[in-house]
Amino acid sequence: MNALQNDLLLKALRQEPVSRPPVWMMRQAGRYLPDYIKLRNKYDFFTRVQTPELACEITLQPVDQVGVDAAIIFSDILVIPQAMGLEVLMEEGKGPSLPQVVRGKAEVEALRTDGVEESLAYVMNALALSKKELNGRVPLIGFAGAPWTILCYMVEGKGSKTWDKAKQFLYTQPEVAHQLLQKITDITINYLKAQVVAGADTVQVFDSWAGALSPEDFSIFAQPYLLQIAKAIQPLAPVILFPKGSWYALDALQHSGASGIGIDWLLTPQLARSIVGNNITLQGNFDPAKLLAPPAQIKKWVKEMIDGFGTQAYIANLGHGITPNVPVDHAKAFVDAVKSYSA
């Protein structure tokens, strides 16, 4: 029961030979699938996340309906601020908001770091149930937000184009910022360890707003914490780091010990490969907006992307999450193009 029928993803992460690259899509669970939208109309966001049967059903939908080579657990990166004691609201169409923002030492010290496994037990239950229901068809991916990206939401209180308040916090109270980043790192390590125990075959760390930082700021406020997480989790399961926008960090991160690095479409596959060689697995980097083009065009672009990365030590994916307006047929065209790739 435990042996995987399709372990392309894990092979690619171990840099073992594969017959073709594995494919999955960031944010594949939810957003664009009609069956997901039905559940979204019936249950509010955190009910879907906190009810293992619902989370499991959503996790499996893209495996059954789009044919991806991996499932990613349906949850959110903002369960960590919740577990640390902050309220998180998710309003349909408006995105997340955190009414009590973190702006100083007192608020950082008040954040909880113990009892993650207890307060996030529903995630581990959803993972265990999804693992069981997948029945070895494809690997199961766990995930968490990176410390810098979580700090962004805690300080800003909502999404932002510039993250200027989060950056102001780094620049005006660097010691407190590091204290907060370390607290988030500690809880995230425990959380990811528990996810692996519960059934995650690999974990991805989403540093979605890394690209808001300059290379120097990234090296001070993001990278050290990504490295701590990679070092702690990699002995238990392969780690994929996804520092969106931070192409400049590829060289440094290839020595992080992580198995894989996700990249976006701001650099070519050829350039990314020339920086890291085949020593680390690359994941990406299809512009999700390109899924709105006609399927024949999508297939052509997918072939060019794989030609650029090469078929080995590579995971075909988008360069960021799939958007809600992508027709299911187009998502399928993307997946099918990878599956039928030949040089």
Which of 20, 40, 273, 339 is close enough to bind ligand CP3 by CB under 6 A?
40
Q: Is 127 exposed, middle or buried (0-12, 13-18, 19+ CB in 10 A)?
A: buried
Q: Where in 93-122 is the site for ligand CP3 (CB under 6 A)?
A: 95-96
Q: Examine residue 210 and tell whether it contacts ligand CP3 (CB under 6 A).
A: no
Q: Is 173 exposed, middle or buried (0-12, 13-18, 19+ CB in 10 A)?
A: middle
Q: Are 75 and 145 within 8 A, CB to CB?
A: no
Catalytic residue among 14, 40, 137, 273: 40
Task: Look up 112 and say whether it is catalytic.
Answer: no
Which range in 72-80, 182-190, 271-279, 295-303 contacts ligand CP3 by CB under 6 A? 72-80
Q: Which of 128, 144, 116, 146 is nearest to 59 (CA)?
A: 128
Plot region of 199 (φ>0 → left; ψ -120 to 50 → alpha; else → beta): left
263 forms beta bridges with 284
**At closest approach, how far in Å is the CB of 338 from ligand CP3?**
17
Task: Look up 76 and say whether it is catalytic.
Answer: yes
**At closest approach, how far in Å is the CB of 323 from ligand CP3?**
8
Which of 76, 201, 264, 336 is close enough to bind ligand CP3 by CB under 6 A?
76
Q: Where in 155-174 is the site for ligand CP3 (CB under 6 A)?
A: 159
Which range in 80-88, 90-98, 115-123, 216-224 contacts ligand CP3 by CB under 6 A? 90-98
Which of 32, 143, 148, 225 is close enough to bind ligand CP3 by CB under 6 A?
143
Helix (H) or strand (E) holding 24: none
Distance CA 43, CA 319 (A): 29
Q: Are 33 and 41 within 8 A, CB to CB?
A: no
Q: Which amino acid appears at position 291 of this protein?
A: L
Distance CA 220, CA 211 (A): 14
Which range in 15-23, 67-75, 112-120, 255-263 contacts ligand CP3 by CB under 6 A? 67-75
Catalytic residue among 14, 27, 103, 273: 27
Q: Where in 269-298 is the site for ligand CP3 (CB under 6 A)?
A: none
**At closest approach, how far in Å is the CB of 196 from ligand CP3?**
17
Q: Are 120 and 112 within 8 A, CB to CB?
A: no
Instruction: Provide the residue count of the chain.
Output: 343
What is the CB-side half-sphere exposure of residue 316 using CA atoms within 13 A? 28
Task: Look up 273 and say whether it is catalytic.
Answer: no
**Catalytic residue positions, numbered:** 27, 31, 40, 76, 153
Residues of this chain that bind ligand CP3 (CB under 6 A): 26-31, 40, 45, 72, 74-78, 90, 95-96, 143, 159, 206, 208, 320-321
